[in-house]
């Protein structure tokens, strides 16, 4: 079966049938070619609903979980989004299909360089890259940015991400896996009137968030 057909089936079987209704998210998943972000040894499993290894003890996340987290953010065309954990660049591409600008941080240089090259090949021009500690967000990076409309964290954190929340704009949302190393809940933080409201959503398991405010 062609990758295009597999992509369509993945969206129907693993996203729409499980309650993903955000048309922006669904259309992004239909457009982005996941096979471009998967290593050759895992190509046969490109559109399975499972995480896949990308090396360095990191994974390209399960499509349903990616779609769920993006849906919680209520992404809009005008949004400036901070992504913590570039990884393969697959989620970065999905975000870039929807929003105005994506700012992505990855601590592993090899992964960032590979993702950057793949995203360039795919023609994306609204993505900015930073190598460093993702728990610090976009501090001391170019272009200069102090606030983001949405923030998405792609690794499990042991605590509330205070530094990232300080970079969240008024009315913005942040989604993060939070808990212990082997088990987390998806937490959605929303900033309203200068206060941060916390919502506990679904259970999940992510690789550890490494950094000053992580593990």
DSSP 91-150: HHHHHHHHSSEEEEEES-HHHHHHHHHHHHHTT--SEEEEES-GGGTTTT-SS----EEE
- Mean predicted confidence (pLDDT) in 62-88: 97
212 within a domain of the structure (yes/no): no
Q: Is 61 a catalytic residue?
A: yes
131 within a domain of the structure (yes/no): yes
- Nearest alpha carbon to residue 188 among 174, 177, 202: 174
Whichever domain contains 106, its CATH number is 3.40.50.150
Per-residue confidence band for 92, with pLDDT thresholds at 50, 70 and 90: very high
- Mean predicted confidence (pLDDT) in 54-76: 94
211 within a domain of the structure (yes/no): no
215 within a domain of the structure (yes/no): no
41 within a domain of the structure (yes/no): yes
Per-residue confidence band for 145, with pLDDT thresholds at 50, 70 and 90: very high
Residue range 170-193, pLDDT digits in tens: 999 999 999 998 899 999 999 999
Q: Is pLDDT at 215 greater than 90 in this prediction?
A: no
- Which positions ≥6 away from 157 have C-beta within 8 Å? 135, 176, 177, 178, 184, 209, 213, 214
Catalytic residue among 23, 61, 71, 146: 61
pLDDT at 166: 96
Q: Which two tokens stand for residue 107?
A: 């601590």
- Mean predicted confidence (pLDDT) in 92-104: 98
- Please tell me the total count of domains within the chain: 1
pLDDT at 23: 97
Domain of 97 in residue numbering reads as: 3-204
pLDDT at 137: 96
pLDDT at 150: 98
């Amino acid at each position: 079966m062609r990758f295009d057909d597999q992509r369509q089936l993945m969206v129907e079987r693993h996203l729409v049938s499980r309650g993903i209704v955000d048309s922006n998210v669904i259309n992004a998943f239909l457009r982005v070619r996941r096979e471009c972000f998967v290593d050759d040894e895992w190509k046969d499993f490109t559109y399975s609903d499972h995480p896949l290894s990308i090396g360095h003890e990191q994974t390209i996340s399960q499509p349903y979980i990616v779609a769920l987290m993006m849906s919680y953010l209520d992404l809009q065309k005008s949004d400036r989004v901070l992504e913590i954990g570039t990884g393969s660049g697959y989620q970065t591409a999905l975000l870039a299909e929807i929003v105005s600008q994506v700012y992505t941080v990855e601590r592993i240089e090899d992964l960032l360089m590979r993702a950057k090259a793949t995203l360039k090949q795919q023609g994306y021009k609204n993505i900015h890259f930073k190598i460093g500690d993702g728990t610090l967000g976009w501090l001391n990076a170019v272009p200069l940015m102090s606030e983001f409309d949405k923030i998405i964290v792609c690794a499990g954190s042991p605590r509330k991400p205070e530094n990232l929340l300080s970079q969240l704009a008024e009315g913005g949302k942040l989604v993060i896996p939070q808990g212990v190393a082997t088990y987390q809940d998806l937490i959605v933080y929303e900033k309203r009137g200068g206060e941060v409201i916390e919502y506990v959503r679904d259970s999940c398991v992510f690789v550890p968030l490494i950094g000053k405010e992580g593990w």
